[in-house]
A and B are shown apart, each in its own frame.
Chain A
Amino acid sequence: MNNIAVRCKGVVKTYGSGDTQVRALRGIDLEVKTGELMMLVGPSGSGKTTLISIIAGVLERDEGECLVFGHDFKNMNHREQALFRGQNIGFVFQMFNLIPTLSAAENIAAPLLINGLKRRDALERAREVLSRVGMGDRTRSLPSELSGGQQQRVAIARAIVHNPKFIVCDEPTSALDHETGHKVMELLHDVVVGVDRALVVVTHDSRIFEFAHRIARMDDGHIISISDSQNFRLNENFN
């Protein structure tokens, strides 16, 4: 029980109503262990993003149970949900979502400021983490002055700066070329995955499957299969 980071059982999510109703998730069961890098793969519309949104507590489920380190977002009010996310969850987005008017260090400092750290301390910590992701010389650069790979590094630094226990990544390499994407995944693997931390990555990018410990394949709101990356690739004839 102690090494389970995320446990979802029978999660159902429906968008809209009447004729326009779409059942995005149709009873999802999933467990992510601490120290694990789990990938969610599947075609567009299969429910991957909806699932990580629910797991990360930014979207409410309709039915089922979903615990993150034993905590259920449904039992919290909005403020408690926000505070829990702020302390325990890190986010990496497909389009990076770096605030364009803030420097790299300031973007990274944002989660610390949200958690109430003083500006000076937050910026100092942000600079340390920026060095850790190999960009110590770009603290003052604006996102527009960075390449896609560099922006994603900054986004990863932002996701880990407050030492969250759980990190969700949405298509972290889809906007990057192969080599850069590979480097970003190496970085994620090196700096994010730890014994007390779990990572869920939503991706279409088959070139990065090798970094996963396990891969869950989704289709039409269901998880069809969960296997380790080697078996997954064998089954999918990737090798």
Chain B
Amino acid sequence: MNFIALKMLIGDRAKYLGIVMGLTFASLLITQQSAIFLGLMTRTFGFLTDTTLPDIWVMDPKVQYIDDLKPLKETEVLRVRGVEGVAWAVPMYKGLLKARLPNGTFQTCNVVGLDDETLIGGPPQMLQGKLSDLRRSDAIIVDSFSVRDKLARVMPDGRREPLKIGDTMELNDHRAVVVGICKVTRTFQSQPVIYTTYSRATVFAPRERKLMTFVLVNAKPGQDSHVLCQRIQQGTGLAAYTRDEFKKLTVRYFMKYTGIPINFGVTVVLGFIVGIAIAGQTFHNFTLDNLRYFGTLKAMGATDWTLLRMILLQAAMVGSIGYGIGVGAASVFGTLSGNTELSFRFPWQLLAVSATAVTLICAASAALSMWKVIRLEPAIVFKS
């Protein structure tokens, strides 16, 4: 009976395509919007993803996420170093500074100041130059996206020329020389990321009493990081998180205090509802149109279970095709947007979420049709 079910479905081209398109649209919308949302959330802790060496991040207790900058006194590094179980602790500056571009416009940049001696906390991958080049006078390392885009030189003919090693720029009225280009994970605010040494960053930054943003800590071998975090908190009164805890804190902030989850959630729910409305309604109409034939099969001896299996098979068929095209299109979209500002993250779990949503839509559509067919009196076949 399977082939009868499939031929009944495919034979009605208009409805078949309508159902598949409805499910494709739902699948695409749910997958693509969720992937963008995941991409955005991943970007919120992009800087943490790149900075892998330290086990623990120490900061002001009021800090709520990675870009919530609340400076500490530089002496806090010494206090943290004094806590039992700490292998090393180094300062890090992180702040937003204005860069003046050659054409006179300003661009806010994310400036990261690394410990002068160890350069711990540097970029994950150098594309040009070396990290140790930061020790040269006025040296900065710029991320590869920005050199082509936000920090690129705009020529008189409108052409954008990428920033190169050896070029200079002004950071908060201080001369800075590009000595390297690095690759970083894009951040939530998509601002240029500039690495320099801690001492130079504090020179670039406006004068304040406190300038240090984080203390980066590594635990001694065998030392449990969570226990060490508690010990640092108790010993210094500062907040201390492992990298994963800090990522969670950051994501939690964006989930709780921004409209991002609601905005994307509404779109995803809308995709689900539209899927149910279009696919469900069309599938139901398809069943209604074929009720006479289902009745004929019922009269000829098909059991309710056989008819239910036929409907489930039809639903599974359109569901699989719609889902496949939808996630395929989302995946193509993600691939094409790979080198743009658009954030897109497509883990396998998202495939499962999308499959579950499409399955629910198909199940709801099939349930309506199955109800109709189960209640169908086979005597309908004698009604002209």
Contacts and interface: CB of A to CB of B under 8 A. Distances in A.
A147 B379 CA distance: 26
A56 B382 CA distance: 11
B329 interface: no
Nearest to A86: B301
Nearest to A202: B382
A49 interface: yes
B304 interface: yes
B262 interface: no
A82 B285 CA distance: 26
Given A59-B379, A114-B306, A171 B297 contact: no
B78 interface: no
Nearest to A85: B301
A94 interface: yes
B382 A114 contact: no
Interface in B286-312: 290, 292-293, 296-306
Interface residues of B, number: 28
A91 B8 contact: no
A22 interface: no
Nearest to B293: A99
B303 A83 contact: yes
A183 interface: no
A111 B301 contact: yes
A113 B297 CA distance: 10
Most buried by A among B297, B299, B306: B299
A113 B1 contact: yes
Interface string A57-88: 01100000000000000000011001111110
B382 A102 contact: no
A170 interface: yes
A115 B377 CA distance: 20
A94 B381 CA distance: 9
B303 A93 contact: no
Contacts of A106: 3-4, 7
B4 A113 contact: yes
A87 to B, nearest CB: 7
B161 interface: no
Contact of B384 (A53, A94, A111): A94
Contacts of B290: 99
A131 interface: no
B304 A83 contact: no
A58 B381 contact: yes
B10 A91 contact: no
Contacts of A97: 292-293, 296, 381
Contacts of B299: 56, 58, 85, 91
Nearest to A142: B11
A83 B301 contact: yes
Interface string B346-384: 000000000000000000000000000000011101101
A21 to B, nearest CB: 18
A38 interface: no
A192 interface: no
Contact of B300 (A52, A85, A170): A85
B341 interface: no
B303 A101 contact: no
B36 to A, nearest CB: 40
B384 A95 contact: yes
A134 interface: no
Contacts of B303: 78-79, 82-83
Interface in B212-261: none
A9 B177 CA distance: 107
Nearest to A159: B300
Given A97-B296, A101-B10, A82 B381 contact: no
A110 interface: yes
21 contacts: A49-B382, A52-B382, A53-B379, A58-B298, A58-B378, A78-B304, A82-B304, A83-B303, A86-B301, A91-B299, A99-B296, A100-B11, A102-B7, A106-B4, A106-B7, A111-B300, A114-B1, A114-B302, A115-B301, A170-B382, A171-B384
Interface of B: 1, 3-4, 7-8, 10-12, 290, 292-293, 296-306, 377-379, 381-382, 384
The 7 lowest CB-CB distance pairs between A and B, nearest first, are A86-B301, A101-B11, A58-B378, A59-B379, A97-B296, A53-B379, A58-B379
Given A78-B304, A114-B302, 18 more contacts: A58-B298, A58-B377, A58-B382, A59-B378, A78-B303, A79-B303, A85-B299, A85-B301, A89-B301, A91-B296, A91-B381, A94-B382, A94-B384, A97-B292, A113-B1, A115-B301, A119-B3, A170-B382
